[in-house]
Structure 1
């Protein structure tokens, strides 16, 4: 370009830069005009030019046919700097969001511009710093959103406890840790007693309140290290890492007593008394979560057979006349 207009000084990259002092260098750069939709940068094509937007607006796209841009680049900003500086292929597609006019600065001229006017390098670093900060913020927001979605997918919508999907991922991992460091573990399977009578007698709305009521007590009364999930229907499951069977039984019994002594107020003049039966099993190295759950389920079967509202262990179930509970599907 033969004549560099002074309006360059108003562009962000040229703020506090003596444009007249580098007029000769800028004259060696070229202008490029893009029509709306015209492609400028392509991840499959090497780039050796820094493009400064003089007029118009560019859009950064993940794919050439993307309808929603990753970012917009306006007058005074630049594109192509990362592939330019790192000598790598562009990381995204860039095209003209509207008719645009660009100043193309070749690699060899950029070094001369920076040498002649260091403020240009400062301005360029500020633009890049803000872009990185913006990208980091977008990434953080994306990760936070993913975490929210993951958390929602792993939580039971009614009780707020973790769900079976979460349990099937986390419990085996925790058992692996226990095995690696030589710690015991206990698994408690809980079933609300006569829950069908609650739904039939009071309605499903009260049944839901009962589930929430119990889940709240489990959350408040279990230890911080205990992992609790809704197993399905009126069943809950608790993994107690670093816990021997005898200690786990004490935890389960305390929880059972607490539930029995804390009725749910279903109206101003009526309380609903709830109880649960529990089966607890001790984990040993080599025992899978499925095997451990079956052992706890057998103990739960015994607790129900003996009248409910009690805790029985996998050792107790050995004396149950050879009766076995049906295996639980995983």
Structure 2
């Protein structure tokens, strides 16, 4: 879950309120491809519950990683405007928070401080993911698991205020379950 904590640790309570008000929650059954390699994305996703499988054509469609609770998806395509380089499919039933790309782009154009916080958060998030990938290449498995399931609740070292970020995530989940 530590990846979403990186983002929530950078955003303000008002930013999170905006995300909740402008997003949708969806329960996605097993076997559904959420992101298709090479196809445009219309949203940024946060995995609230469940597990996803990542595959890429360059790897012969074999699973190259798993995504667990608290991961953010579609951030690379949002930042660089390119098509996704991998497909992402649900392994079990997942609860996904979807923030429409159009609304997120509009918010960033209208609210410069939100934009700064958001891009800082995504930069830290991508940095954390890259460092983890490089570290795993040094291990025997050579797997691109985005986060070791055994470390699901480990806090990334670059979360500046882990207690605040964790409480924001729990607050986000509580508010989403109540609505």
TM-score (norm 1): 0.34
Q: Report Cα offsets for 1:49-79 as digits up to 9, x if no partner.
A: 211112222221125995x632222222211
Q: Report Cα offsets for 1:166-220 as digits up to 9, x if no partner.
A: xxxxxxxxxxxxxxxxxxxxxxxxxxxxxxxxxxxxxxxxxxxxxxxxxxxxxxx
- Number of matched residues? 132
Following TM superposition, by how much is the alpha carbon of 1:48 offset from its aligned partner in structure 2, in angstroms?
A: 3.2
Is 1:96 equivalent to 2:90 in the alignment? yes
On the 8 A contact 2:27/2:96 being kept in 1, the answer is yes
What is the aligned partner in structure 1 of residue 39 from structure 2?
45
Q: Which has the higher contact order (CA 8 A, sep 6+)?
A: 2
What is the aligned partner in structure 2 of residue 135 from structure 1?
133
Equivalent residue runs for 1:165-314 within 5 Å:
none
Runs of 4+ in 1 over 6 A off after TM superposition: none
Distance of 2:78 and 2:15 partners within structure 1: 24
Distance of 1:115 and 1:22 partners within structure 2: 15
What is the aligned partner in structure 1 of residue 11 from structure 2?
17
Is 1:106 equivalent to 2:100 in the alignment? yes
Is 1:56 equivalent to 2:50 in the alignment? yes
Following TM superposition, by how much is the alpha carbon of 1:94 offset from its aligned partner in structure 2, in angstroms?
A: 0.3
Following TM superposition, by how much is the alpha carbon of 1:98 offset from its aligned partner in structure 2, in angstroms?
A: 1.7
Following TM superposition, by how much is the alpha carbon of 1:101 offset from its aligned partner in structure 2, in angstroms?
A: 1.1
Following TM superposition, by how much is the alpha carbon of 1:90 offset from its aligned partner in structure 2, in angstroms?
A: 1.0
On the 8 A contact 2:77/2:83 being kept in 1, the answer is yes
Distance of 1:37 and 1:65 partners within structure 2: 18
What residue ranges of structure 2 are gaps of 5+ in the alignment? Answer: 143-179
Following TM superposition, by how much is the alpha carbon of 1:100 offset from its aligned partner in structure 2, in angstroms?
A: 0.8
What residue ranges of structure 1 are gaps of 5+ in the alignment? Answer: 1-10, 145-330
Distance of 1:57 and 1:19 partners within structure 2: 27
On the 8 A contact 2:38/2:86 being kept in 1, the answer is no
Larger Rg, first or second structure (1 or 2) = 1
Following TM superposition, by how much is the alpha carbon of 1:35 offset from its aligned partner in structure 2, in angstroms?
A: 1.0
SS state of the match for residue 63, structure 2?
coil
| More off after superposition, 11-20 vs 127-136 | 11-20
What is the aligned partner in structure 2 of residue 30 from structure 1?
24
Distance of 1:84 and 1:48 partners within structure 2: 9
Following TM superposition, by how much is the alpha carbon of 1:33 offset from its aligned partner in structure 2, in angstroms?
A: 2.2
SS state of the match for residue 125, structure 2?
helix
On the 8 A contact 1:14/1:120 being kept in 2, the answer is no
On the 8 A contact 2:42/2:102 being kept in 1, the answer is no
CA separation of 1:109 and 1:26: change in aligned 2, threshold 3 A:
farther
